[in-house]
Amino acid sequence: MKKILMSFFVMVAFFVAYAATYDAASRVETVANNLLVKNSIPTSNIKFEVTDKAVDNSSFVDDRVVSISKSDLAYAGNDNEVAAVVANELGHIITGHASKDSIVSSITGTSTTQTIAGELINNYKFTKEEKEADVVAVNLMANAGYNPLAAVVVLTKQTSTYWDALKAQPANAERAMNIYDYANYAYPNSVKSGYSCIEYKNFLAYANDVVAKRNADPKAQEKLEKDLQKYRKNSVSQISKFRTRGGLSFWDIILGIFKGE
């Protein structure tokens, strides 16, 4: 018994020391290059930088630099979680969100509608784009050998909004649930293996209740199945085409045509 207790305390001490010394920012380049290599995306002309400022990867087509938020990395306690942060930014780049926004802004003359209706539209657009990037990120992570559930953990480590709190939901519950559903659909073994941390345990208590209610509603289950099939088809296609185009999304090409390049 004494040997068992001693082994336990040594293990706890190891993990405490590891958590205290883990430097997420210093792992970005290694993890990012692994994500690219394992997904057969050329790495020679893509660089990564950690920034204290708000992330803006709208210039990626020109400078091939992927900016990673230092504040987002503050929620990453291991390589799986760093991969979640990096893969999300790559997801936005692969789906071409910045280039699409540039085209829309050039056509409409503005990127933001300063009305209540406009805010609702922007919030919907933000959530839709984040979900799209998250799904691409799950694929990138799984292909590179990282646990995609880390994306759920990073999101739920963040502070809940008042709306999340009022609804007794984890932080970023909608996005986290979408990642969980997609991972369960596309990479079920990863979900079965789980993720060992309190944040995931707390999220799972919430998710199990959502799944149980949804399973009791055939229409909701049917809609989810169709959505997941669409996510899978689109995200795999986007990664494949980004790869074959040499690191350009569909919207990057359209923006180039739009600008006469």
Residue 146 is predicted with a pLDDT of: 98
Residue 101 is predicted with a pLDDT of: 83
b/e per residue, 142-158, with b = 16+ CB within 10 A?
Answer: bbbebbbbbbbbbbbbb
Residue 120 is predicted with a pLDDT of: 39
Alpha-carbon torsion, ordered 15, 18, 19, 22, to 10 deg: -160
pLDDT digits (tens, 9 = 90+) for 213-255: 999 999 999 999 999 999 999 999 999 999 999 888 998 888 8
Structure tokens that stand for 159 in this block: 């502070």
Q: What is the pTM of this model?
A: 0.84
Within the chain, which residues score under 70 in pLDDT?
Answer: 1-20, 109-126, 166, 261
Structure tokens that stand for 89 in this block: 């930014």
- The H-or-E segment that residue 98 falls in is helix 97-108
Residue 125 is predicted with a pLDDT of: 63
Residue by residue, what is the 3-state secondary structure of 171-198?
CCHHHHHHHHHHHHHHCHHHHHHCCCCH
Specify the 3-state DSSP secondary structure of 226. Answer: helix
pLDDT digits (tens, 9 = 90+) for 205-222: 999 999 999 999 999 999
Residue 255 is predicted with a pLDDT of: 81
Structure tokens that stand for 176 in this block: 């986290």
Which stretches of 111-217 are DSSP H helices?
116-143, 149-157, 162-166, 173-186, 188-193, 198-215
Interatomic CA distance for residues 82 and 120, integer angstroms? 31
Cβ atoms of 160 and 206 closer than 8 Å: no
Specify the 3-state DSSP secondary structure of 65. Answer: strand
Q: Would you mind telling me the total number of residues written for the chain in this entry?
A: 261
